[in-house]
Amino acid sequence: MKALRLHGVRDLRLHDEPCPTPQPGDALLHITEVGICGSDLHWFEEQGIGDARLDKPLVLGHEFAAEIAEGPHKGERVAVDPAVPCRECEFCETGHPNLCTDLRFAGHGLDDGAMREYMAWPERVLVPIPDSFSAADGAMLEPLGVSIHAVDLGHIKTGMTVGVFGCGPIGLLILQVARVAGAAEIIATDLLPHRLDAAKAFGATTVIQSGEGGPEREEVWAAAGRRGVDVAFEAAGVNDAVDTAVAGVRPGGTLILAGIPGDDRTSFSASVARRKGLTIKLSRRMKHTYPRAIKLVERGVVDVRSIVTHTFSLDRYQEAFGVASRREGIKVVIEP
């Protein structure tokens, strides 16, 4: 089978490898679609993410859908949770598997991901998808789950004003989920005009183009009625967006940090955040979100299909990662 491995900074190589052998409790999966996530780009551009570094050639990819390749469920179409919690630690037992201290995660560290034709992965994290879903729809349930978890942390109430700072795939999905959760006004910012166009199409009531140094902060404050947004979601992974979010949220409001900074550092004006008495939360992946994600897509209240703007075969991986690195379009997917 073909497998795409990262060997170093921007050093991807396509390999011919044996098909994996499932262990007890695993299913052999034929990968049908895998998205290139912002965290994949951190690995690609920086040879790591946060404090995790590349120790061996790694198969990236954790947003994916597949068909079961053998056994009694052969041919069944599934979305795949890339996280495999231990189910035994304190955090798993108290309902926080995303904080598991012994978590396996596809395409991270020592666990190869889905940018290959076949992989073996635990059956217990496979989620059947409706016949109406495309393979790409199934793959996008993972970023949608991440977005649902972020919105859960924000505790949005009907009629609130929400800010989304960064309109990549996660920001655009947060925007849609916030709208479903009852946000009456949604202010969205981004550097790229085509992503602001998408934000408006997905329900943002105000879109503001960002600039280096944050000249849009006064515009955000004005758009929020000069009182600030109730809940701010930072999804850009850059400190300018964090500063704009801190400046734009109201006193007593909530800030959810969902972006992943390239240098593993997040900073903001402590005096502003302290004076406002902000509640600041960091969002870690997701938990128990796939059933809700499927319902939102199946009922048409969240559009994941329009998030996908580019599709490439596995052997066109250089083009795929080039488009994703340049932030062209929105979501780039690969079909192994």
Among the residue ranges 14-18, 56-60, 220-224, 231-235, the one predicted with the least confidence is 220-224
State the CATH architecture for 2-140+304-335.
Alpha-Beta Complex (3.90)
CB burial of 278-302 (b: ≥16 within 10 Å; e: otherwise) equals bbbeebebbbebbebbbebbeeeeb
Q: What is the mean pLDDT of residues 324-336?
A: 96
- Give yes or no for residue 254 having a pLDDT over 90: yes
**Phi-psi map region of 122: left, alpha, beta (phi>0 left; psi -120 to 50 alpha):** beta
Which residues are registered as beta bridge partners of 83?
105
pLDDT for the residue numbered 303: 98
Task: Please indicate, yes or no, whether the overall pTM of this predicted structure exceeds 0.85.
Answer: yes
Average pLDDT over residues 277-306: 97
pLDDT at position 213, please? 60
Q: How confident is the model at residue 212 (pLDDT cuts 50, 70, 90)?
A: low
Checking if the pLDDT of 266 tops 90, the result is yes
Helix (H, G, I), strand (E, B) or coil at 261: coil
pLDDT digits 0-9 by tens, 124-165: 999 999 999 999 999 999 999 999 999 999 999 999 999 999
Percentage of the chain beyond pLDDT 90 is 93
pLDDT score of 302 more than 90 = yes
- Residue of 7, 127, 105 lying closest to 61 (CA atoms): 105
Confidence of residue 262 (pLDDT cuts 50, 70, 90): confident
Q: Are 65 and 32 in contact (CB under 8 A)?
A: yes
Domain 147-282 CATH (choose: 3.40.50.150, 3.40.50.720, 1.25.40.10, 3.50.50.60)? 3.40.50.720
Residue 38 has φ and ψ, to the nearest 5°, of -60, -35
DSSP state string for 196-244:
HHHHHHTT-SEEEE--TT-TTHHHHHHHTTTS-EEEEEE-S-SHHHHHH
The residue extents of the domains of the chain are 2-140+304-335, 147-282
Domains 2-140+304-335 and 147-282 share a fold: no
Residues 239-262 as b or e (16 or more Cβ within 10 Å = b): bbbbbbbbbbbbeebbbbbbbbbe
pLDDT band at 214; cut points 50, 70, 90: low
